[in-house]
A and B are shown apart, each in its own frame.
Chain A
Amino acid sequence: MTRYAYYPGCSLETMAATYHVSSMEVAHKLGIELEEMEDWNCCGATAYSHVDELLATVLCARNLAIAEKQGLDIVAPCNACFKNLRTINAALQQDPDLAEHMNFALEADELHYGGRVKVNHIMDVFVADSALETIRRKANDRIKGLRVAPYYGCQIVRPRRPGLALSEIDDPQYFEDLLSAAGAEPVPYPYKLRCCGAALMVTNRRAAAQMVHDLLQSAVDAGAEIIATACPLCQTNLECYQADVNRLRGTDFAMPIVYFTQLLGLALGVGVKRLGLGKELISAKSVLSRRAVASPSG
């Protein structure tokens, strides 16, 4: 069994609790053990970097050190947590002076970081060869033919990870592969890597509303029935502010936005409730049950 240090991130304890439970269910089905990190702290989102680069670094260093103490590589489900942990990990691994400075700070919590941890997004783990093969083998027809818009978001692919070609940044396909393996029909649409507006939803509503509007329109135009996300902030912006976008822009979007792990869970035979389905503000029930009626095995 593969084991990872699981870093849920703050959103998965609140708004995105359904991402947490569905991730756990899918991991269990795939024989992957996610061991939650002991006393982890917030990754800082974007705010720390706005305030002070060293503040952003020291707080991520603590999480990396906790994982290293556990002796495991990190898995993070949130795009922003993933990007912060990953980029700061790289900085600490490449810059001995910075690492020494951070280790001086880490002493205050009796921790030390030697640069030995690898940071993964949870989707990385689910698209790894063996996991993808298991999904293909085990998938029922619960989401067969469901037209899903895979929404990567930004920080799952940007800034670029070392060793990746530009094409893998411009037009990655692994999310599509994952959905196909689970039986769904990934819908191609041009905005799959375009920003959801992130914290601009709070700080510049007009800008974020336009960004969400453009994204939803892009998915609707492509014939998607549902959007699958891999980030709690993307999910919140696209779902919770959809009504606001309709109000501000005079549109009538009613697009269900779920976590990709919820769809994977269905395909792997996990019950609706155990995946947190039903907690969304824009119900995915009719889209998903249409499918259940249409498919012979229900």
Chain B
Amino acid sequence: MVTTTDRKLSFREEVENLLHAEEGASLVRCIQCATCSAVCPAVEFMDHTPRQLIGLINAGMKDEVMSSNTFWTCASCYACTEKCPEGIRPADVMYALTRYSLWNDTFNRDWVAPDFTRRFTRTILRTGKSYEPGYAPAFIFEGGFGGIVSEMQMALKLLAKGRIPLIPARIKRIHNLRAMVARVLPLDGIE
């Protein structure tokens, strides 16, 4: 007999377990009212609306959820989180799914966001600071020829205005910072 302690977790439970430090209500509370979808400024660029995604999670449709671009299209504006009448925090659910997809390596290789996220994290673990000009060039070809020209023009103007430093900053105690991170999680997993 399968007991509650050794039964396999449902997909919803797996996702909720990734929300350990958050305060949101359980996804089972979702009443499919679509308030989250209505207030989302990026919804039309998502494969599934936030409401649909939560419905799919509750239905255990893991493959469909994990192949959706929805959680990588969230801009973390928290409009949904403010408005959910049931106290669910959809923006935090999106974060949970990005983590799940990075850990399990399930993301679509054509997407820019996972690669961007990894570059960003690596930069910070090397220097302790973010360096914006270091990210954009890697993705410049996404915009086609017009996009490249536009991006170059902007970069030149910013350089002329002295707004782009050529050398990335670095904190003094970067070795201590890395040692701190290593006390919490394995560095080789994220670098």
Contacts and interface: CB of A to CB of B under 8 A. Distances in A.
Contacts of B169: 10, 13-14
Contacts of A294: none
A10 B158 CA distance: 17
3 nearest A-B pairs in the assembled complex, by CB-CB distance: A195-B77, A158-B78, A108-B179
A93 to B, nearest CB: 13
29 contacts: A11-B130, A13-B169, A14-B133, A14-B163, A15-B132, A17-B162, A39-B173, A41-B124, A48-B121, A51-B118, A51-B190, A52-B185, A53-B21, A62-B177, A110-B176, A154-B76, A155-B76, A155-B78, A159-B78, A169-B82, A195-B42, A200-B75, A202-B112, A205-B147, A206-B45, A244-B147, A244-B151, A247-B146, A279-B163
A140 B153 CA distance: 37
A104 B182 CA distance: 11
A25 to B, nearest CB: 18
Chain A's interface size range is 35 or more
B1 interface: no
Contact of A109 (B75, B139, B180): B180
Given A106-B180, A207-B42, A198 B185 contact: no
A159 B72 contact: no
Interface in B65-110: 72-73, 75-79, 81-82, 89, 91, 95, 98-99, 102
B142 A205 contact: yes
Contacts of A55: 121, 181, 184-185, 190
- How many interface residues does chain B have, given as a range? 35 or more
B10 interface: no
A29 B111 CA distance: 47
B126 to A, nearest CB: 11
Contact of A59 (B118, B179, B181): B181
Contact of A39 (B77, B135, B172): B172
A1 to B, nearest CB: 28
B41 A62 contact: no
A108 B183 contact: yes
B26 interface: no
A32 B84 CA distance: 39
B60 interface: no
A221 interface: no
A240 B73 CA distance: 21
A204 interface: yes
Q: What's the dominant secondary structure at chain A's contact region?
A: helix
A117 interface: no
Contacts of B150: 243-244, 247
Given A154-B75, A280-B161, 19 more contacts: A11-B130, A13-B165, A14-B163, A14-B164, A45-B120, A52-B99, A109-B173, A109-B180, A158-B77, A159-B78, A194-B41, A194-B79, A198-B77, A200-B73, A203-B112, A204-B112, A211-B42, A281-B158, A281-B161
A154 B99 contact: no
B81 A159 contact: yes
Interface in A69-102: 91, 95, 98, 101-102
Nearest to A170: B82
A104 B185 CA distance: 12
Contacts of A241: 154
A240 B21 contact: no
A158 B162 contact: no
Interface in A138-181: 154-155, 158-160, 166, 169
B11 interface: no
Nearest to B172: A39
Nearest to B127: A42
Which of B113, B146, B182 has the largest number of chain A CB atoms within 10 A? B113
Contacts of B72: 203-204
Contacts of A51: 99, 102, 117-118, 121, 190
